[in-house]
Amino acid sequence: MSKYWSPLTASLVPYVPGEQPKDKTYIKLNTNENPYPPSPKVIEAIKAAAGDDLRLYPDPTCESLIQAAADYYKLPASRVFAGNGSDEILAFAFAAFFDPAKTILYPDITYSFYKVYAKLYGLQSELIPLDESFTIHPADYARENGGVILPNPNAPTAKLMSLDAIRIVLDANPNQAVIIDEAYIDFGGESAVSLIAEYPNLLVVQTLSKSRSLAGLRVGFAFGSEELIEGLNRIKNSFNSYTIDRLALAGAVAAFEDDAYFRETTEKVIRTRDRVAGELTALGFTVTDSKTNFVFASYPDKPASSIFQQLRDKGVLVRYFAQPRIEEYLRISIGTDEEMDAFLQAVKEIVGK
Ligand code: PMP
């Protein structure tokens, strides 16, 4: 341990991102990226912005981007926040809304960054167990707390909650912020953005990383009441008001302008996902009902850690979590049809079918 570290730094357990190995070319199904490139209009806009004036700071208010996102959802711009990836917005939201004097609530099996942010901001967490089928029960969130965060759909389980279930959580928590992390919502879910006018305590967080194929650009959004958006701006401007750079701003605005491309690629991912889920089931896997761009699957006759390693040896990367209750599952991001055929072929060889 370094003598220069604060006690906080010494006690942090940082998030471990999915591996990005360079030793050979893998079929990469481990970090839930989109297999299709971003819209050509996004690339054109970024090139134009690069030739524009990088000497200048970007617009700290992100006005053009916030307006594009607001128009997309038919909301006033005052209800929209933009950040450098939804991870950054989640970090801001934990700082802005969660009460260190109380305990915040989130599922025991969920996006592992929540635990990291809770630690970073000195928050106590109560991890609410998912049931046997990995379902989130909204009534479990009707207890004393200092804030609630739920991903919808959940990761890595891939399962979706209904808006009625989210309403139950919101109704039970009128005095706490409830954050719904919708990183994967475009792959078959119904967004809770439609509820923000009704619930001033609701913050919905989204990203361009998954359904818009822009993980490399780092752009995310939050939608909520004006007081929540103002809270996020306070935190943002206390760190770095120029969060989103000029290239990312230009590319992200263009992403909203090409809805047809977004719909087409999203539908392709959904079709491939449903096919892969069906084929894995036919091979004897248990597969959760996915509304995301990945599937969560376990095989009864072989440890997931061994399937993971054998796939890796065959050049296919998936995600394995050595974590109680899900150590028998693999999370497999949906690639192109060709990539998924190669994955399925490798799986058949491994399970001997
Ligand atoms: N929330 C969830 C549930 C995720 O899986 C991810 C992606 N790892 C994120 C948020 C962050 O996405 P990004 O920062 O790329 O917007």
Q: Last residue of a domain, which of 258, 274, 298?
A: 258
The verdict on residue 83 lying in a domain is yes
Distance separating alpha carbons of residues 174 and 12, to the nearest angstrom: 32
Domain that holds residue 343: 7-37+260-351
**168 C-alpha to ligand 1 centroid (Å):** 24
CB contact burial 233-260 (16+ within 10 A = b; e otherwise): bebbeeeeeebbbbbbbbbbbbbbebee
Give the Cα-Cα-Cα angle 153, 155, 158 (nearest 5 degrees): 55
Rounded distance between C-alpha atoms, residue 127 and residue 138, angstroms: 13
Q: Is 83 in the pocket of ligand 1 (CB under 6 A)?
A: no
Q: Is the CB of 156 under 6 A from ligand 1?
A: no
The DSSP string of 221-232 is EEEE-HHHHHHH
**Total domain count for the chain?**
2
Q: Are 326 and 109 in contact (CB under 8 A)?
A: yes
Residue 2 included in any domain: no
Which atom of ligand 1 lies nearest, measured to the CA of 207? Answer: 16
| 148 phi, psi to nearest 5 deg | -130, 140
Distances (CA, A) of 34 to 61, 84, 209, 329: 28, 18, 8, 21
Distance, CA 90 to ligand 1 centroid (Å)?
9
Neighbours of 2 (CB within 10 A): 7
Pair (133, 243) in one structural domain: yes
Distance 183 CA to ligand 1 centre (A): 6
The best mutation among 32, 92, 161, 181 to test binding of ligand 1, ranked by most ligand atoms within 8 Å of the C-beta, falls on 181
Tens digit of each residue's pLDDT, the chain (353 residues): 799 999 999 999 888 888 888 888 999 999 999 999 999 999 999 999 999 889 999 999 999 999 999 999 999 999 999 999 999 999 999 999 999 999 999 999 999 999 999 999 999 999 999 999 999 999 999 999 999 999 999 999 999 999 999 999 999 999 999 999 999 999 999 999 999 999 999 999 999 999 999 999 999 999 999 999 999 999 999 988 888 999 999 999 999 999 999 999 999 999 999 999 999 999 999 999 999 999 999 999 899 999 999 999 999 999 999 999 999 999 999 999 999 999 999 999 999 87
Task: Please tell me whether residues 245 and 301 are part of one structural domain.
Answer: no
327 and 242 in a common domain: no
Domain identity same for 59 and 143: yes
Answer yes or no: is the C-beta of 181 below 6 A from any ligand 1 atom: yes
Residues 18 and 44 in one domain: no
Q: How far is the CA of 129 from the centre of ligand 1 (A)?
A: 21
In whole angstroms, give the CA distance from residue 78 to residue 66: 9
Mutate to test the pocket of ligand 1, among 160, 207, 213, 321 (most ligand atoms within 8 A of CB): 207
Q: Which atom, in ligand 1's list, is nearest to the CA of 17?
A: 8
Atom of ligand 1 nearest to the CA of 87: 14
Q: Are residues 71 and 159 in the same domain?
A: yes
**Are 289 and 186 in the same domain?**
no
Q: Is 215 in the pocket of ligand 1 (CB under 6 A)?
A: yes
Q: Does a structural domain hold residue 327?
A: yes
Distance between CA atoms of residues 28 and 66, nearest Å: 32
CA of 225 to the centre of ligand 1 (A): 22
Question: Is residue 207 domain-resident?
Answer: yes
Clarify whether residues 243 and 273 are in a common domain: no
Could you say which of 258, 279, 314 is where a domain stops?
Answer: 258
What pLDDT is recorded for position 87?
Answer: 97
d(CA 145, ligand 1 centre) in Å: 24
Instruction: For 158, list phi and psi in degrees, rounded to 5.
Output: 75, 5
40 alpha carbon, distance to own chain's centre: 24
Query: Does residue 160 fall inside a structural domain?
Result: yes
Could you tell me if 19 and 117 lie in one domain?
no
This prediction has a pTM of 0.97
Which value, in Å, is the radius of gyration of the alpha carbons in the chain?
20
Q: Which DSSP category does 98 fall into? A: -
Q: Find tokens 């004006």 and name the residue.
A: 226
Query: Is the minimum distance from the CB of 182 to ligand 1 under 6 angstroms?
Result: no
Q: Is 351 in the pocket of ligand 1 (CB under 6 A)?
A: no
CA distance linking residue 59 with residue 242, whole number of Å? 7
Pocket residue to mutate for ligand 1, from 31, 84, 86, most atoms within 8 A of Cβ: 86
Let me know whether 166 and 243 are in one domain. yes
Please report the atom of ligand 1 found closest to the CA of residue 110. Answer: 3
> Is residue 309 located within the same domain as residue 323?
yes
**Could you tell me if the CB of 155 is within 6 A of ligand 1?**
yes
On whether residue 133 sits in a domain, the answer given is yes
Q: In this predicted complex, what is the ipTM?
A: 0.99
**Last residue of a domain, which of 223, 258, 293?**
258
Atom of ligand 1 nearest to the CA of 31: 8
| Residue 15 confidence (pLDDT) | 86
Q: List the CATH number of the domain containing 204.
A: 3.40.640.10
Domain presence at residue 1: no
Q: Ligand 1 centre from 133 Cα, in Å? A: 23
Q: What is the CATH number of the domain that holds 272?
A: 3.90.1150.10
Q: Does 183 sit in the ligand 1 pocket, CB within 6 Å?
A: yes
Indicate the residue type of 145.
N
Dihedral pair phi/psi, residue 126, rounded to 5°: -115, 120
Domain assignment present for 195: yes
For residues 156 and 114, membership in a common domain is answered with yes
Q: Output DSSP code: residue 292.
A: S
Query: Which two structure tokens, joined as six digits, stand for 162?
Result: 């209904």
